[in-house]
Structure 1
Amino acid sequence: MSLKIEYLPVDELVPYAKNARKHSGAQIEQVVASIQEFGFTNPVLIDENNILIAGHGRTQAAKIAGLSEIPVIRLSGLSEPQRKALRIADNQIPLNASWDMDLLMEEVQDLNLAEFDLELMGFDENMLETLLDADDEDPDLDDSAGKSNTGTDVKYLSIGKEKVPISEEEEARLINELKKYITKYGTNFGFATTLIKGV
């Protein structure tokens, strides 16, 4: 297999007809914003016939951003099964990584102090709130609810209008499960569904 880096007009790049990776409009907008802030930093992969192997979303975003040409890496000599597998692997393998949440929080908070636009990182609003909320690991826990019949302090988990009593052990387990979920998926979106399924 040979590898060659070059610049090609965006209009000469051919989308793969059976590309299984889907990009929402919102995600493409995030890529456009990233290109406008940082430039086109990640070349797309193409075959000998200019058919995209990886980078469909980046190519679409480049057109919206008004770029006339972008960097590409031309991969020659791959078999058709190799091209198919690479298209899938290029998208799937990064999903198998996870975050060190403590370090990620530090980095995001540093960027926030520098007044950098945090939306450029691609996290949803809920995830950003979690990353910026270092001192309050679960904002829905109400410490001011009162005392139990034995006189001990009681915390409550707020769910809509309901306040559910929660022990320190339950709180610790809940926070631990939330951290594991965020580490695995990179977001807290869907965590409640996981809890419900476990009931």
Structure 2
Amino acid sequence: MRIDTVAAGMSKAAMPKAKGLADGIEVWCSFDKLVSVEDLKPNPRNPNTHPARQVELLAKNVRYFGWRHPITVSKRSGFIVAGHGRLEAARELGVQLVPVDYQDFASDNDEMAVLVADNRLAELASLDLNSLEGIIEELRVADFDTLLTGFDETDLDSLLQGDDTAPGDDDGDDELDKGDVTIALGLYRFKLTQEDYLTWIDSVKQNVGFDKEAVVKELRRRLGA
């Protein structure tokens, strides 16, 4: 059941109410209408990809929390502008109805810029590991499923233990300062500050998910190695 200790003590009148139901899934976000997934059109030029692991986590998140964000569709083109991953999550869940927000755009360029920015702006964020560790510890104490944060246990342990070596790194490079990280791929070696490395590797993981092989593949692609 999804009733925690605080909610259990509330009267029915005080309990928050969802804005609606979409195939049995609560809808908490603002939306214009519930639309069949079959009627939605992904933008064929969408540059943002959604690995299977990300879709699986999105689906789990939606199933537990309900719809917290709608799928945004352009009135101009009829294509999805934001929410391609949420559409895939709906298909993963096997639901037919999803909340949709229809928006106007002054030009095709405006629409495409929002489409690209939807993922790109999130990539530019970085994690405060101290704050994350505190939040995760609180969730673990409450016996809450931390997978709903988007991180599995392996990812969290690796991240919070401060693993500052990239796949393929050599151990113990005496020439490096403690704050430096060396990335070694084949014949290529790249030296970064730890801060730049963490920002960079975080953006890689947000693009491809947290599967080690996928991360290594993306690193090689970016470095041309």
How high is the TM-score relative to the length of structure 2?
0.60
8 Å contact from structure 2 (residues 33, 99) kept in 1 = yes
- Aligned AA (1:65): L
Moved beyond 4 Å, runs of 4+: 137-140, 162-166, 169-174, 177-180, 187-191
Structure 1 gap ranges (5+): 141-158
Structure 2 gap ranges (5+): 1-30, 182-192
Residue 106 of structure 2 corresponds to residue 78 of structure 1: yes
8 Å contact from structure 1 (residues 98, 185) kept in 2 = no
RMSD: 3.6
Residue 151 of structure 2 corresponds to residue 123 of structure 1: yes
Question: How much does 1:163 deviate?
Answer: 7.5
Aligned mates of 2:147, 2:69 — CA distance in 1 = 19
- Aligned AA (1:16): N
> Going by fraction, where is strand more abundant, 1 or 2?
1
Q: Which residue in the other structure is 2:88 paired with?
A: 60
Q: Which residue in the other structure is 1:33 paired with?
A: 60
Q: Which residue in the other structure is 1:147 paired with?
A: none
Measured against aligned partners, the alpha-carbon deviations of 1:17-66 in whole angstroms (never above 9, x if no partner) come to: 11111111111111111111111211111012531111111011112212
Residue 133 of structure 2 corresponds to residue 102 of structure 1: no
Q: Which residue in the other structure is 2:70 paired with?
A: 43
Question: How much does 1:7 deviate?
Answer: 2.0
Aligned mates of 2:108, 2:136 — CA distance in 1 = 41
Count of aligned pairs between the two proteins: 168
8 Å contact from structure 1 (residues 44, 55) kept in 2 = yes
Percent identity, aligned pairs only?
27
8 Å contact from structure 1 (residues 47, 53) kept in 2 = yes
Structural mapping, 1:155-174, within 5 Å: 164=172, 171=178
* Aligned partner of residue 34 in structure 2, secondary structure: strand
Residue 118 of structure 2 corresponds to residue 90 of structure 1: yes
User: Which one is further off, 181-190 or 108-117?
Assistant: 181-190
Query: Is the radius of gyration larger for structure 1 or structure 2?
Result: 1
User: Which one is further off, 47-56 or 93-102?
Assistant: 47-56
* Aligned partner of residue 15 in structure 1, secondary structure: coil
* Aligned partner of residue 32 in structure 2, secondary structure: strand
Aligned mates of 1:61, 1:163 — CA distance in 2 = 40
Question: How much does 1:119 deviate?
Answer: 1.9
8 Å contact from structure 2 (residues 129, 160) kept in 1 = no
Question: How much does 1:79 deviate?
Answer: 1.1
User: Which one is further off, 121-130 or 50-59?
Assistant: 121-130
Change in 2 beyond 3 A, CA 1:172/1:79: closer
- Aligned AA (1:19): N
Aligned mates of 1:163, 1:184 — CA distance in 2 = 20
8 Å contact from structure 1 (residues 108, 132) kept in 2 = no
Q: Which residue in the other structure is 2:22 paired with?
A: none
Aligned match for 1:112, one of 136, 140, 148: 140
Aligned mates of 1:57, 1:113 — CA distance in 2 = 31
How high is the TM-score relative to the length of structure 1?
0.67
Q: Which residue in the other structure is 2:38 paired with?
A: 11
Measured against aligned partners, the alpha-carbon deviations of 1:169-191 in whole angstroms (never above 9, x if no partner) come to: 955666xx546533554369779
Q: Which residue in the other structure is 1:144 paired with?
A: none
- Aligned AA (2:43): Y
